[in-house]
């Protein structure tokens, strides 16, 4: 198979699926080596960015997904925009940050850091920003929450390692408290 054919087939798969497709699944379908697929995709991803294409292919953890180029997002968003745009509350952002920086967290862990998390957690689950990741092997078997695929799309990161290191926030807090 030539490179353009591979690119076109992968693009068609991502478009048809609508959700992220794992590199393992692409590997199985194309019967190709993961390294070769990754190289071809990375080259194509860069080409799409350079030509300011309306759609991009984004890597999300070990998967790939077709998405709108952020430079056109404001315009394209109007197509799907609801009359009322809801933003997350400060409590929801704090809860989301706790889950993301811990990679996964129980309600007890969240509440130990920021207090009551019932409403913010419910909001995050409803919006698909977090999902239940299973249960902790501890008394009561509490639910573990982790960032969902929508979190990666909404915050334009491919992995949790791309988040701003917590040390940067601690330095800012120390500087702010020193000036008080």
Q: Are residues 158 and 60 in contact, defined by beta-carbon separation less than 8 angstroms? A: yes
Domains and CATH numbers, the chain: 3-79 (1.10.10.10), 90-178 (1.10.10.10)
Reported pTM: 0.53
Count of CB atoms within 10 A of residue 31's CB? 7
What digits encode the pLDDT tens for the residues 3-47? 999 999 999 999 999 899 999 999 999 999 999 999 999 999 999
Sheet containing 55-60, strands listed edge to edge, beginning at the edge strand earlier in sequence:
21-22, 63-68, 55-60
In the chain the first and final C-alpha atoms are separated, in Å, by: 65
Convert the pLDDT of each residue in 124-171 to its tens digit. Answer: 999 999 999 999 888 889 999 999 998 988 888 888 888 888 776 655
């Amino acid at each position: 198979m030539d490179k353009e054919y591979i690119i076109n087939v992968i693009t068609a798969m991502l478009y048809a699926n609508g959700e992220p497709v794992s590199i393992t699944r692409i590997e199985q379908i194309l019967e190709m080596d993961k390294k070769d697929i990754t190289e071809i995709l990375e080259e194509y991803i860069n080409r799409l960015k350079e030509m300011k294409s309306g759609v991009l292919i984004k890597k999300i953890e070990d998967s790939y997904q077709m998405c709108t180029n952020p430079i056109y997002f404001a315009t394209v968003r109007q197509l799907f925009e609801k009359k009322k745009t809801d933003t997350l509350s400060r409590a929801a952002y704090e809860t989301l940050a706790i889950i993301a920086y811990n990679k996964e967290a129980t309600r007890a862990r969240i509440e130990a850091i920021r207090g009551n998390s019932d409403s913010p957690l419910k909001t995050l689950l409803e919006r698909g920003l977090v999902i239940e990741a299973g249960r902790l092997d501890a008394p009561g078997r509490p639910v573990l929450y982790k960032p969902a695929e929508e979190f990666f799309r909404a915050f334009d990161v491919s992995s949790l390692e791309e988040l701003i290191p917590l040390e940067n926030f601690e330095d800012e807090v120390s500087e702010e408290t020193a000036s008080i």
